[in-house]
Amino acid sequence: MERSNEYSPILEARNIRVRAGRALLLDIPSLSVREGEVLSVIGPNGAGKTTLLQTLFSLQKPFQGEIFYRGQPVHADHYAIDYRRKLAMVFQEPLLFDTTVFDNVASGLKIRRMKGREIRDLVEEQLKRLGIAHLSGRSARTLSGGEAQRTSLARAFAISPEILFLDEPFASLDPPSRDTLIEDLGRILRQTRTTTLMATHDRLDALRLSDRIAIMKEGQIVQIGSPGTVTRRPANEFVASFVGAETILTGRVIKTTGGTFVVSVEGQGIEVAGEAGYGETIVFCIRPENVIVSTRSSSHSSDETTSVRNIFPGRIERIVSLGFFQKIDLDCGFPLVAYITNPSLESLFLQTGKEVIASFKATAIHVIRRKKGED
C-alpha cells in the first residue's frame, strides 16, 4: 500500500518486557506506531506476535516498560479503560454473540449508549462496506468462516476505533474467502485510514496490506521497515528466509574491483555489486524473482546480457507449482531458486532433470553483514 511517509506516532512502547515464570516472552526496547499506517508484525509461531498485541492493547500487563497513547502514559486503571475504548481487536476465531449479525455489529455501539437511529445507520453502513448487508437478520451460528470474520470486522469498524488490532485474522479461512476478504479489508483501510496493527505468520498477507512490517523472532523485533526494505535488504539470514529470499549462500571473496567483488561458492565465482575485502567471508541472498531461467536455444543475445554478470549452467532438481507461477530448484554447482511464469514454463518445455541456463545481475544480490558476535 503506497501512502505518504508523513505520520505522527499514535502509540509508543518503551522497554517492554513480558515474562512467564523465568521465560522472557517479549523484549521490545522501542516500538512506534504511526497514525494512519498499517503495521504488520510477522514471524513464526511462538515469536511473540500475539503477546505483543495483547500487551499494547493493555490486556496483558507488561513485566516492565511503558506504553504511551498520543504521548500519554497508559498506567492508571481508569486511563487504561478509557484507552481500550478507543481500540478494537479482531481475533483469528470470530467471537460472536448468539444473536443476529445486525445485533453483533451493533453490540459495541449499544455499550456506548448510542441512540437507535444512529446505531442502525452505522451498522447498515458497515454491513454494506463488508458485503454482508444481506446477512443482517441471519443468526451468527449459521455463518461460514468468512462471513463470521466479516461480521467481526464490521463490529470493529462500527465503533470507529482509533487503532484496530488484528490477530491472525485470515488464518482459519479457506483460500477464496481469505483472498476476497484481504482485498476488501485493504480497500476499507485505504478509505478510512484507520491505524492498524496486525499480527500474522503469512508474509504475503503483510505485503498486501502493510505500510511497514516488523519481523519478530523469540520475542524480539529483529527488523522493521517498509515492505520493500525488508524484502530487498533483510537484516540477517532469519529475516531473509522469512521474507522469501530463498537462496542464501556463504562464500569467500576471491577478487575485488571497483564497485564489485567476486565470491567463491562451491568453486563457482559469483559477482556481487558493492565493496568487500579480499578473503572476507560473505553471506548473501538472491530473491527468486530476480533469477532468469532460459535454455540454450532461447539464451540471451549479447545486447540483453550486457548487465547480467552472473550466468551459470544448471540442472532442474524440482518444480513446484505456486498457483500463478512456478518455483524451480536448480543445481548450478550451488543451490539456486527461481520463479517462472506458467506460460514461460510451457514455452521453454521445462521439466525436472532438464539442463538450463540461470542468470542474475550483480545488483540483484543483497549482502547480509553480520554483527560482531554472530556466528
Question: For the domain that residue 123 is a member of, what is the CATH number?
Answer: 3.40.50.300
Among residues 314, 277, 290, the alpha carbon closest in space to that of 362 is found at 290
For position 372, what pLDDT does the model report?
52
Structural domain range at position 92: 9-242
Question: For the domain that residue 318 is a member of, what is the CATH number?
Answer: 2.40.50.100
- Alpha-carbon distance of 61 to 209, in angstroms, equals 29
For position 371, what pLDDT does the model report?
62
- Alpha-carbon distance of 11 to 284, in angstroms, equals 35
How many domains are contained in the chain? 2
Q: Residue 162, Cβ neighbours under 10 Å: how many? A: 17
Q: Are residues 228 and 133 part of one domain?
A: yes
Furthest CA-CA distance within the chain? 75
Sheet bearing 365-368, strands edge to edge = 268-273, 260-265, 247-257, 281-286, 365-368
Asked, for residue 4, whether it belongs to a domain, the answer is no
- Alpha-carbon distance of 173 to 76, in angstroms, equals 38
CA dihedral (335, 340, 344, 350) positive or negative: positive
For position 80, what pLDDT does the model report?
75
Domain boundary at 192, 221, 242, which? Answer: 242
- Alpha-carbon distance of 13 to 83, in angstroms, equals 14
Residue-level pLDDT, tens digit, the chain, 375 residues = 444 444 579 999 999 999 988 899 999 999 999 999 999 999 999 999 999 999 999 888 777 899 999 988 887 666 778 888 899 999 999 999 999 999 999 999 999 888 889 999 999 999 999 999 999 999 999 999 999 999 999 999 999 999 999 999 999 899 899 999 999 999 999 999 999 999 999 999 999 999 999 999 999 999 999 999 999 999 999 999 999 999 999 999 999 998 999 999 999 999 999 999 999 999 999 999 999 999 976 555 444 445 688 999 999 999 999 988 999 999 999 999 999 999 999 999 999 999 999 999 999 999 998 665 444
For position 7, what pLDDT does the model report?
54
- Alpha-carbon distance of 372 to 375, in angstroms, equals 9
Q: What is the per-residue pLDDT across 108-125, written as a single tens digit (0 to 9) for each?
A: 999 988 888 999 999 999
Number of helices (H), then strands (E), belonging to the chain: the values are 10, 20
Domain boundary at 242, 257, 288, which? Answer: 242
Model pTM above 0.85: yes
Q: Are residues 289 and 216 part of one domain?
A: no
Q: Are residues 284 and 221 part of one domain?
A: no
Q: Residue 97, Cβ neighbours under 10 Å: how many? A: 10
Asked, for residue 129, whether it belongs to a domain, the answer is yes
Asked, for residue 2, whether it belongs to a domain, the answer is no
Contacts of 78 (CB under 8 A, 6+ apart): none
For position 302, what pLDDT does the model report?
43
For position 223, what pLDDT does the model report?
96
For position 335, what pLDDT does the model report?
97
The answer to whether 356 touches 315, Cβ cutoff 8 Å, is: yes
Q: Are residues 252 and 201 part of one domain?
A: no
Asked, for residue 3, whether it belongs to a domain, the answer is no
Contacts of 59 (CB under 8 A, 6+ apart): none
Q: Are residues 285 and 237 part of one domain?
A: no
